[in-house]
Amino acid sequence: MKNGFVKVAAASPVIRVADADYNAERVIEVISSAAKKDVKVLVFPELTLTGCSCYDLFTHRVLLDGAREALLKVAEKSSEYDLLAFVGLPLAVGAKVYNVAAALCHGEILAFIPAEGIADGYFSVPDPDSDYEVNLPGYGLVPMSCSVLFEHEGLSDLRVAAEVGAGLQRFLTPAVRHAEAGATLIVQLGSFPETVTSREEAELNARYESRQFACGMVLAAPGKGESSTDRVFSGLCLVAENGKLLASEEKTDSFAVSEIDVEHMMSLRRSLDCFDAPSDYLRFSWGEDLSETALTRTYLMHPHLPETSAQLPAYCRRMLDIQVSGLVKRMEYAHLDHCVVGISGGVDSTLAVMVSAMAVKQMGLPATNVIACTLPCFGTSSRTKSNAIVVAEQIGAEVRVIDIGKAVYQHFDDIGHAHDDYSIAFENAQARERTQVLMDIANKVNGLDVGTEDLSEFIDGWCTYNGDHTSMYDVNLGLTKTQVRANVRYIADTTEDRVLKAALYDVLDCPVTPELLPIHDDQIEQKSEDAVGSYSLQDFFTHKMLICGFTPSKTFRLAKQAYAKEFTDEELIRWLTSYCRRLFSQQFKRSCLMDGPAVEAFTVSPRVGFLIPSDAEAALFLKDLEHLTAGLDD
């Protein structure tokens, strides 16, 4: 399984200014070391072979000849390694000197990429729209162009472009042009010195550009061996991907390594539809067939939440603001003044009633304009019922307890369903009766039936069609289960009401349950995650398969890394298979969803969200998992 990962690195070895022979040896050492780490793309700083602080020596024949011989030596020594390396040097072409990156692979010098921009007194600037051939004594003709793409023969999504002279305040045109031409990885040979803000600025630039261009960025800046006459150099090396910094190192002999997911970058670009414009770039093929790339980067168990706990409070406040704002707008537009919420004691309805309380408060209405209805029936436990009532009472809502058992039994009699037949009709009748009651109460009080189902349940279809599946406006429609839980925990952590705090924590401790089957000894027996799997795991699948566009097998690989301590391979494959089947079979429920706000740039709204036909087949998704199952059988 290649899965689109390629290991890349930036290196800034300690060099000696103007000592090309010594510097070549250092470069060769790094190339050898990188190859042993399975690095496939390696970038060195600008003017690596001489140092970037040679000043007037850049035009001296001794230095230029020495740099050329050093390059040939590096090229020869790289012949045994299957990696693409970018090495900087000054290159004399007739009466001009260019600041170039030499692209090396398998002993060949594939091309020279010159620095663009403004001439600095030492180096000439080529016409960016023209291509040249450089006659390199002792080697032969080598193309030189500002517009070059290096395409890997074994990984079609890996397209590499190089930029020379990357500074902190630089002109972005080359990166824009490279991205538009299809480069999914842009390597930058930097030249900037160390300042008190240089690392922060460089990392910010890399994050911004990799996000803007939906690509990977690899940057190497000059290191400790440079001249300290006027400036000091830090050797900053970094790797970024789509706005995320994957690796960064700034020390003596810096070496930053990570894996770029070029398959993901290509998937993002297909959705953006603004890259791969026709271009007249020179194109070079390189590389052998790739084996599976070992991963050193990590993946979050909860990708729908921030990476650090310090970021979580602000994130939750923003999610709550989106939910409340959407609900207030809908009520004001419809001239409604009450929220009607069915409360079960679960996290979804708990969050919905809290959001409703915030909405009526924002509208200047009393808390009693939230009508919280608990509708116990055959599977309701005293624990969930109690928590639901306590939460509603503590926020000042009007609480109504409406036992629907008698009405459901009457319905069974009307349709000829035995009272002890616990089939799907037994369960669904309760959910549909609750929805009928909530909507009719909303009509009576000039209110809105506020839905409680979340994004995770809509994706796996764990809701009764025209039951809890239906409402007048669903404030949780855009939140995954992990996001719902995060919001409830944030409210519990920040409230000063001790009674409310205790009830909310108990809600979080309760297993997710639809409470539709009879219970014994007042214990919760029907647990959603027994049927559809861990919601944390499901939300991970949603992020990787639906948001990132990964294959099921690639999703399994990443889930195996993230959840190694929680699930076996067999369990992961079981729940991933179940997820794929339900994703397709339950689409008919998502095709007619009510309105509700998205909190991420992803939703399953049939109007603006992820949409598939209600009768599409899961066959190809399941086929992608077959070899994993076969591996377990072996």
Residues found in the chain: 634
pLDDT band at 227 (very low <50, low <70, confident <90, very high): confident
For residue 238, give the amino acid letter: L
Q: Is residue 555 part of a domain?
A: yes
In sequence order, the 6+-apart residues with CB closer than 8 A to the CB of 587 are: 612, 613, 614, 616
Residues 366, 275 share a domain? no
pLDDT at position 229 over 80: yes
pLDDT at position 171 over 70: no
For residue 48, give the amino acid letter: T
Kind of pairing, strands 282-286 and 338-342?
A: unpaired
DSSP string, 492-520: HHH---HHHHHHHHHHHHSPP----S--S
| Separation of alpha carbons 501 and 493, rounded Å | 7
Closest CA to 579 of 556, 612, 595, 600: 556
Question: How many CB atoms lie under 10 A from the CB of residue 534?
Answer: 17
Residues 169, 269 share a domain? yes
Residues 316, 238 share a domain? no
Average pLDDT in the chain: 91
For residue 317, the domain's CATH number is 3.40.50.620
For residue 88, give the amino acid letter: G
Residues 281, 175 share a domain? yes
Q: Is residue 171 part of a domain?
A: yes
pLDDT attached to residue 183: 94
Residues 326, 276 share a domain? no
pLDDT at position 15 over 90: yes
Residues 322, 193 share a domain? no
Residues 224, 189 share a domain? yes
| Separation of alpha carbons 357 and 70, rounded Å | 72
Residues 237, 328 share a domain? no
Domain boundary among 222, 252, 286: 286
Q: Is residue 295 part of a domain?
A: no
Structural domain harbouring 249: 5-286
What is the share, in percent, of the chain residues with pLDDT greater than 90?
77
Residues 204, 88 share a domain? yes
For 143-157, write each residue's pLDDT tens digit. 999 999 999 998 999
In sequence order, the 6+-apart residues with CB closer than 8 A to the CB of 253 are: 12, 13, 14, 223, 235
Identify the weakest region by mean pLDDT among 212-221, 499-508, 517-526, 569-578.
517-526
Of 382 and 404, the structure prediction assigns the larger pLDDT to: 404
Residues 154, 215 share a domain? yes
pLDDT band at 377 (very low <50, low <70, confident <90, very high): confident
pLDDT attached to residue 515: 53
Residues 225, 335 share a domain? no
Q: Is residue 562 part of a domain?
A: yes
When divided into structural domains, the chain yields a total of: 2
For 384-403, write each residue's pLDDT tens digit. 668 889 999 999 999 999 99
Q: Is residue 424 part of a domain?
A: yes
Residues 623, 577 share a domain? yes
pLDDT at position 120 over 80: no
pLDDT at position 601 over 90: no
For residue 234, the domain's CATH number is 3.60.110.10
Domain boundary among 286, 318, 350: 286
pLDDT at position 86 over 60: yes
pLDDT at position 121 over 80: no
For 576-591, write each residue's pLDDT tens digit. 999 999 999 999 999 9
pLDDT at position 530 over 90: no
| Separation of alpha carbons 13 and 450, rounded Å | 61
Q: Is residue 579 part of a domain?
A: yes
Q: Is residue 621 part of a domain?
A: yes
Of 311 and 633, the structure prediction assigns the larger pLDDT to: 311
For 280-329, write each residue's pLDDT tens digit. 899 999 988 888 899 999 999 999 999 999 999 999 999 999 999 999 99
Q: Is residue 509 part of a domain?
A: yes
3-state secondary structure of 175: helix
From residue 9, alpha-carbon distances to 4, 86, 260 in Å are 16, 11, 10
